Amino acid sequence: MASKLRSTISNLQVLYEDNHLIAINKRAGDIVQGDKTGDTPLSEVTKGYLKRKYNKPGNVYLGVAHRLDRPTTGIVVFAKTSKALPRLNKLFAEKAAEKTYWAVVRQAPEKHEATLTHWLKRNTKQNKSYAYPKEVPESKKAILSYTLRSTLDTHFLLEVALKTGRHHQIRVQLSAIGCPIKGDLKYGFPRSNKDGSIHLHARSLSFIHPVKKEPISIQAAPPKDPIWDACV
């Protein structure tokens, strides 16, 4: 993954910040939290950004409440205080945040809008999930709704609302109806994107602030490329 695709302290795209929260527009090369690759995660980059911005001498607190797949772009919210983190965790666990995603596919879905329900079974060795029409052992119910938002020259933009939060949920459920996401080789798209990304973007997030109790609504612009540019 090219380094220019990763966030750094200098190019970090901050969408929202207050005393308790900071929201970042994640690039496709970013991992949200450290993994076996050893690459610097977005959480550490954001800590470095806060340390420099506020000239903090010691360690910076930052809590991870949710994640996005590495090739996916869009909104990631971190907690800046130990007071906010458990409340943010609860908010996401209880599905009290309204998340909207954009997905670009090359095959138009049969219906312009629909709710999809599958049972997903995760294979940890492959880091992949499989969709089934009925419950199978060790599967979890997955529900999303999509709307066909626009038709591009050779692709289609779907707006997706998640009802559950399962491993690779949007990727596997759209693939299951014959609409794999552009660039997503793992779930059936024939070609990868040159930069290793897939055309899945966490577009908007709305929730009640866990500390201030005020409504918050955040939007993230998709990356700059000809297809995303045609969507905005």
Q: Residue 113 and residue 127: Cα distance in Å, rounded?
A: 29
Token pair 């049969």 is at which residue?
110
The amino acid sitting at 134 is: K
| Residue 109, both tokens | 């879905």
**Do the beta carbons of residue 184 and residue 200 sit within 8 Å?**
yes
Q: List beta partners, residue 163.
A: none
Catalytic residue among 18, 39, 69, 225: 69
69 is catalytic: yes
* DSSP letter string, the chain: --GGGS--TTT--EEEE-SSEEEEEE-TT--SS--TT-PPPHHHHHHHHHHHHTT-SSPPP-EE-----TT-EEEEEEESSTTHHHHHHHHHHTT-SEEEEEEEESS--SSSEEEEEEEEEEETTTTEEEEESS--TT-EEEEEEEEEEEE-SS-EEEEEEESS--TTHHHHHHHHTT-PBTT-GGGT-SS--TTS--SEEEEEEEEE-TTT--EEEEE-PPPSSHHHHHH-
Which amino acids are annotated catalytic? 69
